[in-house]
Structure 1
Amino acid sequence: MQPFIPDTDTENWHDFEVGSRREIIALLRAISDKKQEVRVAARDGGAVYTTSILDVDGDAGTVLIDRPLDPDYERALLSGDVSFETSLDKIRIFFGTEQLQASLHDGKPALKMAVPASLIRLQRREYYRMATPLTNPVRVTIPMPPELGGGVAVFPLADISVGGIAILDNRFVLGDTMGRDYAECRIELPDLGNITTGLQIRNSHDITLLNNNPNRRLGCQFIDMGRGAAAAVQRYITKLERERNARIAGLG
């Protein structure tokens, strides 16, 4: 069963699907150990409540969750497909099951399900937005439409996330039209090569740099990004995080 993602703004959520049984069990155990709240919803929308994961048994392939006190909720959840949403280290986690069963945990009522075959680990744009280097900046090449002069233009990135990028347009050539799409944009990721993706402008802010020069910061969402490109972006973010952590450790 595919997890149900009711409100995500990421069309390519399948790029973040986890299919490794070992990794799924590790993630669910981490959620349980940190006592993260888990939102449970019947697929038909008839029951929604907050619970927690009580236990994950990798050998038996089962997950135990806390049982709702309301018997009507319990009946609704036992009647069919159920979706779960939680977070771990600011990353949204989605998974689902086609069947919950009444069970016990340490002698107390619980609900049992099979370890899901897959889950979604979705890093949303507001999380893990990493600043890109100021020296030797990452650059994006954007094909310009005829009404903006045609040709291509190159812009430095201000930051990058799994959902998009922020670019600096100091020549104010892109305009600030919300929702405007730019296709076949090329981002040069150091040590990882070039990726191609569509970009959609989602927000715009005029700023003044430390040297008093005006600039425009455009927040852009990735659109029509392939699986390989999304994986390369994630690897680059991981690389930036490791470099930042190394610098912090060195200062310490």
Structure 2
Amino acid sequence: MYPHFQDAELENWHDFEVESRREIVALLRGIGEKNQLIRMLIKGEADVCVTSILDVDDAAQAVYLDCSIDQEQNRRVLASRQLSFETTLDKVRILFAAEHVEATTYEGNPAFKIAIPATLIRLQRREFYRIATPVSNPVRVLIALPAELGGPTSFPLADISCGGISILDNKMMLGNAVGKEYPDCRIDLPEVGAVTTALQVRNSLDLTLLNNKSNRRLGCEFRHISRGALATVQRYITKLERERNARIAGLS
């Protein structure tokens, strides 16, 4: 759905998809009200136009966009089967796509019209600071898999933040279905305690290691995590930061 945005940022688990219609409309209206410029990319071409949101009509399920002064470029946009859009709102990247665009007018001037997107991606890289977990003595998460998949199984973590974790699944036991949710997962945080939370897979990245073995990293978001459990996660992150800072000070 987002063919032009397969960059490193999109491989990280906390890039997440917004599915709430109300939130999508509010974000698009915010982009329009702040006159944010939007990069519009035509699928299959290196063609980039700059546009802006003129209006979001929730009742008509339509977003009105400014069109180009270049008529040939406008024709290519209208002929496109898919368009990708990228902009920022309050320093957060926003990505969305459209499969159909039509020519219209807005307040008497030529414009484009697309449907309000069903989903959009909001890259919240600044919201949650994540830190790598120890490699030599990895933090582990226990996931209650069904009996036919081996029952409860523990997996090592690659990193942790107050928003979720990255799991290393070198036996490819968890699958890679984005949106899949695992309830009652237990994460043992050394010297701090254990937390229990549901985890939802937000993305999957297959890696080939130097020894040619394959590994899968699953970015998972905490779901329905309690305030107390979140405080425990924050304490563990603070502990890791202190240890890392002490190591850096010792090396300097």
**Normalising by structure 2, what TM-score?**
0.56
Percent same amino acid among aligned pairs?
A: 35
Show CA shifts across 1:33-76 (max 9, x none): 11111110001124201111000000000000111111121111
CA contact (8 A) 1:10 1:163 kept: no
* Partner of residue 219, structure 2: 225
- Rounded to whole Å, the distance in 1 between the matches of 2:45 and 2:102 is 19
CA contact (8 A) 1:52 1:66 kept: yes
Q: How many residues align structurally?
A: 181
- Rounded to whole Å, the distance in 2 between the matches of 1:104 and 1:190 is 60
CA contact (8 A) 2:198 2:224 kept: no
- Rounded to whole Å, the distance in 2 between the matches of 1:27 and 1:7 is 23
Change over 3 Å in CA distance of 1:91–1:15 after alignment to 2: closer
* Partner of residue 85, structure 1: 86
Q: Output the aligned Cα RMSD.
A: 4.4
Q: Which stretches in structure 2 are left out of the alignment for 5+ residues? A: 141-159, 171-186, 205-215, 235-252
Show CA shifts across 1:74-114 (max 9, x none): 11111121110011112111111111111111111111111
* Partner of residue 94, structure 1: 95
Change over 3 Å in CA distance of 1:78–1:160 after alignment to 2: same
- Rounded to whole Å, the distance in 2 between the matches of 1:14 and 1:78 is 33
CA contact (8 A) 1:187 1:194 kept: no
- Rounded to whole Å, the distance in 2 between the matches of 1:83 and 1:49 is 11
Q: Which stretches in structure 1 are left out of the alignment for 5+ residues? A: 133-138, 145-150, 166-180, 199-221, 241-252
The one-letter amino acid paired with 1:82 is L
- Rounded to whole Å, the distance in 2 between the matches of 1:9 and 1:190 is 31
After superposition, residues 227-242 of structure 1 pair within 5 angstroms as 228-229=221-222
The one-letter amino acid paired with 2:219 is M
* Partner of residue 33, structure 2: 33
* Partner of residue 244, structure 1: none
